[in-house]
């Protein structure tokens, strides 16, 4: 079994500049080998890679896809055309690549943090709509984004420079507008990791003083946490509401009035925080991936064999 762990260009240099984070390409190969699988690191933008030769393609560190969405979606099309197996499945990856999916989750009964979605290039009177909501300070982000890419705070859509930044965002993707959530800098944002639909570990990310971003690259403090059972149940219900089975998923959100308010569900390239998940977290991830490949193979063989003959 040969598995492609897919990275962005410059991945090694990026991880070398993040000494507090774990380079998964140095940890996961030995766990895959224990299961009889070989992991190969490959860059998604490398035109020389033969993706069809892999039993599964994991787009785990394509952290620059939000900056190149058209190119990334073309790469997904190539994987489909050569018959490569993508984990998570191609349909889920496409769905998860645009934060419009949060509206789908809200429709499925998930407690999604308040938001306004603006279609790419679509005219909309944001000023009147946001004024009617009375949100006060606002956070703007692209609908296709990762790692707080082009995310910013502003007092209103009329604040200096905001209109220009919105225009830049809407050239490439839709736009997400949310109120500033004081719970995040005050109490932190939770992340729940699920491998093969089963809970692995959780952590709490607290922004640095004066900031609202929860990535360690912006100075946030990350600590492993044992979540209260009710909170874990709510996070598990989010995974259960997804429109497909996942080999891995990360649910991010904050607590308001005792309920998890979902900010994101990452199914493409979530950082797994294995260094906070205990000594077996990498093994759990690899076991879930290998099990998903095995299940897909079995389903494909059953489909090729056709229905059983009548008795």
Pairwise pLDDT comparison (305 vs 31), residue with the higher score: 31
Long-range contacts of 34-40 (CB under 8 A, 24+ apart): 34/283, 34/286, 35/1, 35/286, 35/287, 35/290, 36/1, 37/1, 37/2, 37/3, 37/286, 37/290, 38/1, 38/2, 38/3, 39/3, 39/4, 39/5, 40/2, 40/3, 40/4, 40/5
pLDDT tens-digit series, residues 235-268: 999 999 999 999 999 999 999 999 999 999 999 9
What are the structural domains of the chain?
2-97+281-286 (3.40.50.20), 104-111+183-275 (3.30.470.20), 116-179 (3.30.1490.20)
pLDDT tens-digit series, residues 137-190: 899 999 988 776 778 888 777 777 887 888 888 888 889 999 999 999 999 999
Predicted confidence at residue 122, as pLDDT, reads 66
What crossing angle do the helices spanning 281-305 and 24-34 adopt, rounded to 10°? 60
pLDDT tens-digit series, residues 210-231: 888 788 777 789 999 999 999 9
Structure tokens at 9: 């260009």
pLDDT tens-digit series, residues 272-282: 999 999 989 99
Identify which of 9-18, 124-133, 146-155, 233-242 has the greatest average pLDDT: 233-242
- What is the rounded CA–CA span in Å between residue 100 and residue 118? 9
Residue 62 has pLDDT above 90, yes or no: yes
Predicted confidence at residue 308, as pLDDT, reads 61
Mean pLDDT over 126-131 rounds to 78
Percentage of the residues of the chain whose pLDDT score is greater than 90? 69
Confidence of residue 47 (pLDDT cuts 50, 70, 90): very high
Whether this model's pTM surpasses 0.75:
yes
Predicted confidence at residue 151, as pLDDT, reads 83
Predicted confidence at residue 228, as pLDDT, reads 96
- What is the rounded CA–CA span in Å between residue 9 and residue 267? 20
């Amino acid at each position: 079994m040969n598995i492609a762990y897919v990275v962005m260009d410059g991945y090694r240099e990026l991880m070398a500049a993040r000494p507090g984070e774990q380079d998964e390409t140095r940890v996961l190969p030995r766990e895959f080998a224990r299961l009889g699988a070989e992991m190969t690191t490959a860059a998604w933008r490398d035109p020389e890679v033969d993706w069809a030769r892999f039993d599964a393609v994991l787009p785990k560190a394509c952290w620059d896809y939000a900056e190149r969405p058209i190119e990334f979606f073309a790469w997904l099309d190539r994987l489909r055309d050569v018959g490569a197996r993508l984990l998570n499945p191609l349909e889920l990856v496409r769905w998860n690549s645009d934060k419009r999916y949060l509206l789908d989750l809200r429709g499925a009964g998930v407690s999604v943090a308040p938001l306004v979605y603006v279609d790419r290039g679509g005219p909309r009177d944001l000023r009147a709509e946001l004024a009617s909501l009375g949100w006060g300070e606002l956070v703007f982000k692209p609908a296709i984004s990762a790692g707080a890419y082009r995310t910013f705070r502003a007092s209103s859509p009329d604040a200096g420079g905001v209109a220009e930044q919105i225009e830049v965002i809407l050239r490439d993707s839709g736009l997400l507008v949310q109120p500033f959530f004081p719970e995040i800098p005050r109490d932190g944002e939770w992340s729940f990791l699920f491998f093969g639909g089963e809970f692995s570990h959780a952590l709490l990310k607290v922004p640095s003083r004066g900031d609202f971003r929860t990535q360690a690259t912006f100075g946030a403090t990350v600590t492993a946490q044992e979540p209260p059972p009710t909170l874990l149940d709510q996070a598990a219900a989010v995974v259960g509401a997804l429109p497909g089975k996942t080999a891995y998923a990360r649910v991010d959100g904050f607590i308001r009035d005792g309920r998890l308010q979902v900010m994101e569900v990452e199914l493409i390239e979530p950082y797994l925080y294995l260094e906070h998940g205990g000594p077996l977290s990498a093994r759990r991830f690899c076991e879930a991936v290998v099990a998903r490949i095995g299940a897909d193979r079995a389903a494909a063989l059953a489909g090729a064999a056709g229905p059983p003959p009548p008795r």
